[in-house]
Chain A
Amino acid sequence: MAGVLIFSENQGLALEVLTAANSIKATAVSACVINNDEQAQALASAGVQVYSVNNNDLLMADVGAIAGAIKQVADKAGADTVLLASNRRGKELAGRLAQAMNAGCLTDVAALNIEGDKILCQRNALGGATVATQYIDAGKKVIAIRPRTFEAAAGTGAGSVEEVAVEVKKAGVTVLEFKSRVGDTVDIEAAEVLVAVGQGLNSQDDLPAVEELAKKLGGEVACSKPVATDKKWLSEERIIGLSGKKCKPQLAMLLGISGQVQFTVGIRDAKTIVAVNSDENASINQMADYIITADLHDVVAEMNKKLG
């Protein structure tokens, strides 16, 4: 495998992608950093050759211009493969960069394995019903790796930072405002225990009891998508599923969740799953370790009482 270039605008994710790149036996791994000297230093400290682009005309919001810049750095670095993080920015960038490089592309990749000269990538398919193993059959490759698939690379060596100039092709994009997320800053992907509610929850007034149970178990409250987007009882930060968060807690208590694949894809990697559902035939029971057929409100109340 020839050279691999990594990029993510997010420093933590860039270090994860570096670990991914180091795992695939590339002849050379280098990193592209755009308008971020701190990240350039962090990656160099992790032992990688960094190509640092500093250009005020380059806006992260202008995906076409960013893709053009990374392509130029990949050419300079002699990299035929670019690894990105599959956060939202990385995912949006992946297709555009792949098209600019005439590369094949895979996003949301959750595992990488080398088989001969192929990089086998695993990702969800058919709405999460299946996990596909796919590889790119083209000279150039762009692969976006799901956050938290790899550990962040630690400072293991002395890399270096080289400033590079790129031509910027602006595309009529200006940023009017950036509003940081305020309020609910829960990170359900980091929680060891999740108590997740679905449409079986009767009312928003029942949430405090669920929160109490989550607290007693040392975890966080999460939900299926309709609870946040339709009913708006919980914030979208707490959605588990295909278009929400993919979580791997030790324990997941699933309350009143029927078990559509769009949800289960986000929780099936949990170590232990408890399903509480009033329907004994709920499909969620197929993927649970412990199944209790009962009204979730009664179960929550009784657990809160008995867990003291």
Chain B
Amino acid sequence: MELPHRGSGRPISLWVMIGEDIYEGGLVMNIVIAMKQIPDLQQIRIRNRQPILDDVPLTLGNIDKNALEAGVNLRDELGGKVTVLSAGNEDIEDTVKEALAAGADEAFLVIDDSLNGAESSVIANVLAASIKQIEEPALILFGEGSGDNYSGQVGSRVAEILNLPQVSFASSIEIRGNQAVVTRSLEDGEEIVQVDLPAIVAVLADINEPRIPSVTQILKAGKKPKEVLELDELEVEAGKAMVITANNLAPETERKRVVVKSVDELIQALTTEGYVGR
């Protein structure tokens, strides 16, 4: 396997040890959770079919929170460290506190205005370069899709850049030595796969119920370590966006919105429409 390198071009010595029993040997199980800063979707309003994003608070992707919960549970069971990785504008320094309160140990943030809501291929380049800077991650977790675009590309792109095995739509993850046993939940069944670590796993929203941090945890979150890089410090060619958005509008809803006063009236309406008494 081609081994990823740090930005300096120096190989990470411990990556070479993967394949031996490094986790059972008492070394740390480092888990990276890639999380996206998105507008709080519950608070987006539509005016003249246009989404109004001004003053909408920022949060982290809802399925990304399932990925975090899965990572935190694995760490609690096996030891090690959970690092939240995110790329976006300077607001992520504040937004990431949500993840630090919910159990992550530290954050690795790449900040540039151009990264906020940036296209999947650009974000994938930035995240892959960042992962090479993080100390020997064994598992890199994503949500199955971001909360806003739900495109599900970034994890797969990062896996290709880093030449790592991947499993998406994961409904369970178990670590066995230097491998993970992951259930990939497909439309027609569950495929249980064993992957060598390090690996990329994208989790389903159904995998767990993310914890809600306590007040004490929220207060402590601000004190957890954060490594904050500007994009130009990362020595990566992020590339240009390959997807252009021509327009983005709420769908037109042409509904009758007839208020019926009784079940009889409703049955009458359904009969007229041809759904009843066919």
List of B residues within 8 angstroms of A190 by Cβ: none
Please tell me which one of the listed residues A67, A104, A173 contacts residue B243 in the complex, with CB atoms under 8 A apart.
A104
List of B residues within 8 angstroms of A106 by Cβ: 151, 243
Give residues in A with beta carbon < 8 Å to B.
61-64, 67, 87-89, 91-96, 98-100, 103-108, 120, 123-127, 129-138, 171-181, 193, 217-218, 229-230, 236, 242-243, 250-251, 260-262, 268, 272-274, 285-294, 299, 302-303, 306-307
Binary interface profile of B, 248-278, with partner A (CB < 8 Å = 1, else 0)? 1111010111111111111101100101101
- The reply to whether A307 and B244 form a contact with Cβ atoms under 8 Å apart is no
Compute how far the CA of A180 lies from the CA of B188 in the bound complex, rounded to whole angstroms: 6
- The reply to whether A286 and B253 form a contact with Cβ atoms under 8 Å apart is yes
- The reply to whether B165 and A179 form a contact with Cβ atoms under 8 Å apart is no
B121 proximal to A (CB < 8 A): yes
Given A61-B184, A130-B51: A92 and B192 interface contact (C-beta under 8 Å)? no
Nearest A residue to B39 by beta-carbon distance?
A: A126
Given A94-B153, A134-B245: A62 and B165 interface contact (C-beta under 8 Å)? yes
List of B residues within 8 angstroms of A236 by Cβ: 206
Query: Number of contacts between A and B (CB, 8 Å)?
Result: 248
List of B residues within 8 angstroms of A177 by Cβ: 191-192
List of B residues within 8 angstroms of A64 by Cβ: 159-160, 163-166
Compute how far the CA of A15 lies from the CA of B202 in the bound complex, rounded to whole angstroms: 28
- The reply to whether B257 and A289 form a contact with Cβ atoms under 8 Å apart is yes
What are the 3 tightest A-B residue pairs by CB atom distance, in nearest-first order? Answer: A104-B242, A95-B156, A172-B196
List of A residues within 8 angstroms of B147 by Cβ: 127
- Taking CB atoms and an 8 Å cut-off, the chain B residues in 154-180 that contact chain A are 154-157, 159-161, 163-169
Compute how far the CA of A229 lies from the CA of B245 in the bound complex, rounded to whole angstroms: 33
List of A residues within 8 angstroms of B169 by Cβ: 88, 92
List of B residues within 8 angstroms of A303 by Cβ: 263, 266-267
List of A residues within 8 angstroms of B124 by Cβ: 95, 99
Number of residues on chain B facing chain A (CB within 8 A): 86
- The reply to whether A107 and B153 form a contact with Cβ atoms under 8 Å apart is yes
- The reply to whether A171 and B164 form a contact with Cβ atoms under 8 Å apart is yes
Majority secondary structure of chain B interface residues (helix, strand, loop or mixed): mixed
User: What are 19 A-B pairs with beta-carbon distances under 8 A?
Assistant: A64-B166, A87-B187, A92-B168, A95-B120, A95-B124, A95-B154, A95-B160, A99-B161, A104-B242, A107-B151, A125-B248, A127-B148, A137-B244, A138-B242, A175-B194, A178-B189, A250-B275, A292-B265, A302-B263
Among A94, A130, A230, residue most surrounded by chain B Cβ atoms (within 10 Å): A130
- The reply to whether A132 and B248 form a contact with Cβ atoms under 8 Å apart is yes
List of A residues within 8 angstroms of B242 by Cβ: 103-105, 136-138
Compute how far the CA of A87 lies from the CA of B191 in the bound complex, rounded to whole angstroms: 15
- The reply to whether A91 and B248 form a contact with Cβ atoms under 8 Å apart is no
Given A95-B120, A104-B121, A261-B41: A133 and B151 interface contact (C-beta under 8 Å)? no
- The reply to whether B152 and A132 form a contact with Cβ atoms under 8 Å apart is no
List of A residues within 8 angstroms of B196 by Cβ: 171-173
Please tell me which one of the listed residues A93, A103, A120, A294 contacts residue B246 in the complex, with CB atoms under 8 A apart.
A120
Nearest A residue to B154 by beta-carbon distance?
A: A95
List of B residues within 8 angstroms of A243 by Cβ: 63, 144-145, 150, 204-205
List of A residues within 8 angstroms of B161 by Cβ: 99
Nearest A residue to B128 by beta-carbon distance?
A: A99
